[in-house]
Amino acid sequence: MRVSRAQAEANRETVINVASRLFRERGFDGIGLKDLMKGAGLTQGGFYKQFESKDDLVALASRRAMESATRRWSSVAASSPDPLQGVIDLYLSAGHRGETGDGCPLVALGSDAARQSADLRKPFQDGIKAHLQVLEELMPASDHDDASRKAMTMLALMVGAVTLSRIVTDENLADRLLKAAAAEAKRVAAMEPAE
């Protein structure tokens, strides 16, 4: 049965969205095309009509995940009385720690992405730059170089803290890691410019 162009495009978007979630849950190599397409409610046969390869889908799904995460930060910042604190509180929360399918793709896929080709790492690099831009814009007034340094420090700290909190099996330790990182992120934001 032939599908319309509109339906084919809707199917493609569904596959990208489902892949974005499933890759974050299972890793790039943790799910095959058959299960991925099944998760999207489609058959495997339609995959190559929509995508050149699994790598093509990985790149598209990774870009989708990174863009979604950046939009989430921007949305939280826009609706919070203290935008930077709102982002810190969202990111370094027990709820985010448990969001393996919808949480931060840097945490979920960072080590997988580091082993991929430059083409597959590009969406992550673009997403990191977008996250840094959001953080820079939320930093208390300071010069650009100082805001950039603080944003880099804060992003590395927060991604590392959530990663560690997902690795450990001791929930108390996981919570303490997030709380320590939140306190340090707040301190970094308030630091005087480096000499």
Q: Where are the domains of the chain?
A: 55-190
The yes-or-no verdict on residue 195 having pLDDT over 70 is no
pLDDT tens-digit readout, 38-94: 999 888 877 888 899 999 999 999 999 999 999 999 999 999 999 999 999 999 999
Determine the pLDDT at residue 27. 95
Angle between helices 5-26 and 105-114 (to 10 degrees): 80
Helices (H) then strands (E): counts for the chain? 10, 0
Sign of the alpha-carbon dihedral angle for 54, 57, 63, 69 = negative
Q: Give the integer Cα–Cα distance in Å for 40 and 70.
A: 24
Q: Which residue has the tokens 């820079």?
A: 136
Determine the pLDDT at residue 194. 59
pLDDT tens-digit readout, 121-178: 999 999 999 999 999 999 987 777 889 999 999 999 999 999 999 999 999 999 999 9
Q: Are 33 and 47 in contact (CB under 8 A)?
A: yes
Among 3.30.70.20, 1.10.10.10, 1.10.357.10, 1.20.1250.20, name the CATH number for the domain at 55-190. Answer: 1.10.357.10
| Average pLDDT for the chain | 93
For range 98-117, the mean pLDDT: 95
Q: Are 24 and 109 in contact (CB under 8 A)?
A: yes
* Amino acid sitting at position 38: K
The rounded percent of the chain whose pLDDT value lies above 70 is 97
Q: How far is CA 7 from CA 14, 34, 39, 47, in A?
A: 10, 20, 17, 14
| Whole-structure pTM value | 0.91
